[in-house]
Structure 1
């Protein structure tokens, strides 16, 4: 599975758990960390955890190695590192505060296809 297919899979997993404001940043030309950042948010901690758990489970079903899962217990900003794709699941308030889309403003934003 290439990184574009993986980010599409992750977007669908987020959408299936009712993530809001899903955004995909193409990081290939601006960072060596990952090919794509997927950013989404939820209105409460339980939903943040449900989204992150779904991303992890869907990735593992496709035999994609989950390198790191950080922030799950606090559920304010959960990072799911899948190598070429990094999924950021925010509590809505934290997303507004950190504003990754502006921080990585040089990265083109892709259309989310569900």
Structure 2
């Protein structure tokens, strides 16, 4: 895992925080998952807020020249996944986050709570 991947996870968390995302967690899944080094998970109150958070993340990272590789779930807006390669952002409506419980699924991963 590189320092740049850790910094990218922080950029994602910060961009989510700017749109009032709640309960932002950064899971270090390096060595646990072959998909990414970090999963960043956050909650929103509504599908409108989920989309606003995802839009802000895309905009802020694009401003830094960081390219989004893949996006899932935007039309429904209940769980949007933004794939930045080494970091994958999960933006959930609260009840879907509780249902899927990714924190439990990746329970072996070290977790850091994002605080502004």
Q: State if a TM-score over 0.5 links the two structures.
A: yes
In the superposition, the TM-score normalised over structure 1's length comes to 0.95
In structure 1, runs of 5+ residues without a counterpart are: none
In structure 1, what is the equivalent of residue 79 of structure 2? 77
Partner of 2:66: 64
Q: TM-score, normalised by structure 2?
A: 0.94
Q: CA offsets, 1:31-85, max 9 Å, x none?
A: 1111100000101000000000111111111111100111011001000001111
Determine which of 16, 20, 31 is the counterpart of 2:33.
Answer: 31
CA drift at 1:113: 4.6
Root-mean-square deviation over aligned CA pairs: 1.1
Unpaired stretches in structure 2, ≥5 consecutive residues: none
Verify the 8 A CA contact 2:38 2:87 in the aligned structure 1. yes
Q: What is the aligned length?
A: 114
| Contact 1:29–1:107 (CA under 8 A) maintained in structure 2 | no
